[in-house]
């Protein structure tokens, strides 16, 4: 393989890495309602995680007002490495964060909603990837970490 071909491959790889890191995250696309037909179950939220193609979801019941639940979850999320707020507030009832992988900077989008029910606050959370099809369990592991911390509060 000639030097120009190697240089071309290197430039193309660099362009892909830069695109992954620099493409904007549009809140209109990612900050959407969490649709989930599953009923919220009592018990630890960390036990309610369901993996799916390209992500994971959980629906659970929490004691307290929805805004307070999202406020606690937001503090946990913002302390997580390489995670930033994309859109929303606890007062709005929905928050979306972007969490990036360490090496390549692949973005995952995590949206959480909390609503009032007679049994308490219903928390629905969806963590999903932007690029590719499989996430090797990363989104489920992130939800497990976040919801375990939330269960301890």
H/E run at residue 77? helix 66-78
| Arithmetic mean of pLDDT, 20-48 | 85
Give the CA distances from residue 125 to residues 32, 83, 86, in Å, rounded to whole numbers and listed in that order.
11, 15, 15
Compute the average pLDDT of residues 98-126. 93
- Compute φ and ψ for 34, nearest 5 degrees: -85, 105
The percent of residues in the chain predicted with pLDDT above 70, rounded, is: 93
- Give the whole-angstrom CA distance, residue 54 versus residue 65: 30
Structural domains in the chain plus CATH codes: 26-151 (3.30.310.80)
pLDDT over 90 at 122, yes or no: yes
Between 126 and 7, where is the model more confident? 126
> What pLDDT does 17 receive?
67
Rounded CA separation 139/80 (Å): 13
Q: Is the pLDDT of residue 19 over 70?
A: no
Whole-model pTM: value is: 0.87
> Residue 24 pLDDT more than 90?
no
Structure-model confidence comparison of residues 127 and 131, the more confident one: 127
d(CA 140, CA 57): 8
Q: What is the mean pLDDT of the chain?
A: 90
Tell me what the mean pLDDT of segment 76-81 comes to. Answer: 97
Would you state the pLDDT for residue 88? 98
């Amino acid at each position: 393989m000639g030097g120009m071909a190697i240089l071309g491959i290197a430039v193309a790889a660099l362009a892909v890495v830069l695109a992954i890191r620099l493409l904007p995250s549009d809140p209109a696309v990612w900050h959407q309602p969490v649709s989930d037909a599953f009923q919220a179950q009592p018990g630890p939220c960390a036990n309610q995680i369901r993996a799916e193609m390209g992500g994971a979801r959980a629906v659970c019941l929490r004691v307290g007002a929805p805004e307070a639940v999202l406020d606690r979850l937001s503090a946990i999320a913002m302390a997580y490495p390489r995670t930033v707020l994309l859109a929303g507030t606890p007062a709005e009832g929905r928050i979306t964060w972007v969490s990036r992988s360490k090496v390549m900077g692949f973005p995952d989008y995590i949206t959480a909603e909390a609503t009032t029910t007679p049994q308490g606050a219903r928390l629905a959370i969806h963590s999903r990837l932007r690029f590719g099809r499989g996430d090797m369990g990363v989104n489920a592991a992130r939800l497990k970490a976040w919801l375990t911390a939330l269960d301890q509060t």
